[in-house]
Amino acid sequence: LSLITHPNIISYFGSHVVGESAFLFMELCNQGTLTDWLRRNGPVRDLGLLAVWIAHVANGLWFIHRNGVVHRDVKPSNIMIRDNVLKLADFSSAKLHGLCCQKVHDTQMAGSPSYMAPEVITGGQSKSSVVGAQDIWSFGCVIYEMVTGKQPFEEVDNVWSLYFLL
């Protein structure tokens, strides 16, 4: 993360470990998360703002994919806002892969159920291989929430519930 510099990616300055606690030093985002914003304001009703914010997240995703990173947990609580600019954050589930279209093997399922791509949930290609397409699915779910103010598959609280919906 320290090597990634982009206006739509949260800046990482370093880390420090004290005992069993790790501390990350990152950019301060004065408006909190997109989740916070949606709770305070409801759905994004200003079409211009919606278009700009969608472009911010799309640009951030394009940049990390171009640089061999798949986020794997794109959701409103992992999108920070600083001075009305959206920034991707929380790369704890991220994986490196070669080029944007290549896959890297992975046995861990990552993400949040309401934002997971179907192939991740059903154990299809993305459970055994990481590709940027799963971030695009999650991004679509974020857009849905920005427009409606509701999570997609809101009634789902775990992966197994969503698995049976599919």
The contacts of residue 120 (CB under 8 Å, 6+ apart) are 109, 110, 111, 126, 127, 134
Dmax over Cα atoms in the chain, in whole Å? 48
Positions annotated as catalytic residues are 73
- Please name which of 74, 95, 90 lies closest in space to residue 141, comparing C-alpha atoms: 74
Give a three-class secondary structure readout of 112-143.
CHHHCCHHHHCCCHHHHEECCHHHHHHHHHHH
